[in-house]
Amino acid sequence: MNQMGGAERVIAAIHETFPEAPIFTTIVDWEILRPELSNADIRPSWMQKLPGWKKHFKKYLPLFPLAIESMRVKDYDLILSSSSHFAKSAIKGPKALHICYCYTPMRFAWDYENYVKRENLNVLYRSCLPLIIAHLRQWDQQTKDRPDHYIAVSSAVKARIKRVYGRDAEIIFPPVDVQKYRPIEIPDNFYLIVSRLNSIKRIELAVEAFNILGLPLKIIGAGPFYKSLKAMASANVTFLGRLPDPEVAEYYAACKAYVFPGEEDFGITPLEANAAGRPVIAFKGGGALDTVREGLNGLFFDESKSQSLVDAVRSFENGKYNFNPHKIREHALLFDREVFKEKMRLYISRKWTDSLRAGAG
């Protein structure tokens, strides 16, 4: 819990659903913790005491499995893990029920080539990484059956869980704080991105496209690729850094359209833009396939190339679709935070009842 992104929003919603349940995690950055988690019983592992973990947590990669397996959760009847890497391998008691809310099987292990290609890794770390990854793949396979059930965040992740783990999963989409956003009557004349500036987000693709288009693009967010992205950007591309949530909401409502250039496991920001009544121009892959209905709340570009995005923006500029802000927002309401919480309650209740019946039988 050292980055306050989509997974942490899920944790906050789960905490609201089960406020008395303690939260076990490898590391936690108390300074950036989401306000909704300020009263939570958060219990970090021994990794919290390692030197320099805030800046160098990736260098401690081999230790994360050990930290998860050392967590004292064997006395609990129900474990809900929130996992994109390691949490699914928590060791439960013999009669406990473990449900894993899975963002994806660990991406750097099962999509290694793309991960390495986009990360700024030094020569020493890059040379050691294949051995570490090989070990993690083996460990990930050995621990894939520790959860009794998997929940996937999207259709793409459901298919990935089946392919990598050989396990079935039910889909429950992550929560979106729809009520934080409101449409306005007349939007401004700029396009928008709200994102961490890291490799997987493919922000460079959008910068390249808008360099060609010459149209105004505003980018909200920070991250390791900030300097390189700013260096390649033309004057029409503006970097605003991190902004408070109310200001972000204003930018969502004011933008002409939201640009979503990466292939993500789900992708919450496009739905936040939809909640503010604005359409999305998204790459046709990953979680966007579940959330974007072409012509209703956005449109796709087909190839992960800047020219493909250029063509989509020009199509949007030419008025191919007539988007209705209120219908766009109605679509976003299908993914509201309260919808997520209710679906999680029902799913967990059903699986808990099934486990009790199986135990009685």
Whether 25 contacts 3, CB under 8 Å: no
Of 321, 228, 301, 199, the C-alpha closest to 259 is 301
Angle at 309 between CA 171 and CA 226, to 5 degrees: 85
pTM (predicted TM-score): 0.86
**Architecture field, domain 6-175+338-360:** 3-Layer(aba) Sandwich (3.40)
pLDDT attached to residue 122: 58
- 279 to 5, 80, 160, 248: CA distances (angstroms): 22, 34, 28, 16
Beta bridge partners of 220: 194, 241
| Radius of gyration, alpha carbons of the chain | 21
* Number of C-beta neighbours around residue 29 at 10 A: 15
Please report, for residues 6, 92, 194, 221, the alpha-carbon distance to residue 244 in angstroms, rounded to integers and kept in the order given: 16, 39, 12, 10
Instruction: Please state the three-class secondary structure of the chain as a single string.
Output: CCCCCHHHHHHHHHHHHCCCCCEEECCCCHHHCCHHHCCCCEEECHHHHCCCHHHHHHHHHHHHHHHHHCCCCCCCCEEEEEECCCHHHCCCCCCCEEEEEECCCCHHHHCHHHHHHHCCCCHHHHHHHHHHHHHHHHHHHHCCCCCCEEEECCHHHHHHHHHHHCCCEEECCCCECHHHCCCCCCCCCCEEEECCCCHHHCHHHHHHHHHHHCCCEEEECCCCCHHHHHHHCCCCEEEEECCCHHHHHHHHHHCCEEEECCCCCCCCHHHHHHHCCCCEEEECCCCHHHHCCECCCEEEECCCCHHHHHHHHHHHHCCCCCCCHHHHHHHHHHHEHHHHHHHHHHHHHHHHHHHHHHHHC
Q: Which residues contact 358 (CB under 8 A, 6 or more apart)?
A: none
Q: Are 222 and 196 in contact (CB under 8 A)?
A: yes
Distances (CA, A) of 188 to 90, 104, 249: 48, 36, 14
Q: Residue type for 8, please?
A: E
Which residue from 255, 262, 254, 258 is spatially nearest to 271, judged by alpha carbons?
258
Give the residue among 45, 58, 148, 46 at the shortest CA–CA distance from 100.
Answer: 148
- CA separation for the pair 182, 63 (Å, rounded): 44
**Residues in CB range of 69: below 8 A, 6 or more apart:** 89, 90, 91
Q: What are the residue ranges spanned by the domains of the chain? A: 6-175+338-360, 178-335
User: What pLDDT, on the 0 to 100 scale, is given for residue 160?
Assistant: 94
Local confidence pLDDT in tens for the 361 residues of the chain = 887 777 888 999 999 999 999 999 999 999 888 888 989 999 999 999 999 888 888 788 889 889 999 999 999 999 999 998 899 999 999 899 999 999 999 876 677 666 555 555 555 556 667 788 888 888 899 999 999 999 999 999 999 999 999 999 999 999 999 999 999 989 999 999 999 898 889 999 999 999 999 999 999 999 889 999 999 999 999 999 999 999 999 999 999 999 999 999 999 999 999 999 999 999 999 999 999 999 999 999 999 999 999 999 999 999 888 999 999 999 999 999 999 999 999 999 999 999 888 876 5
Tell me which CATH homologous superfamily contains domain 178-335: Glycogen Phosphorylase B; (3.40.50.2000)
What is the distance between the alpha carbons of residues 75 and 254, in angstroms, rounded to a whole number? Answer: 50
Question: What is the phi-psi region of residue 221: left when phi exceeds 0, alpha when psi lies from -120 to 50, beta otherwise?
Answer: left
Q: Is 298 left (phi over 0), alpha (psi -120 to 50) or beta?
A: left
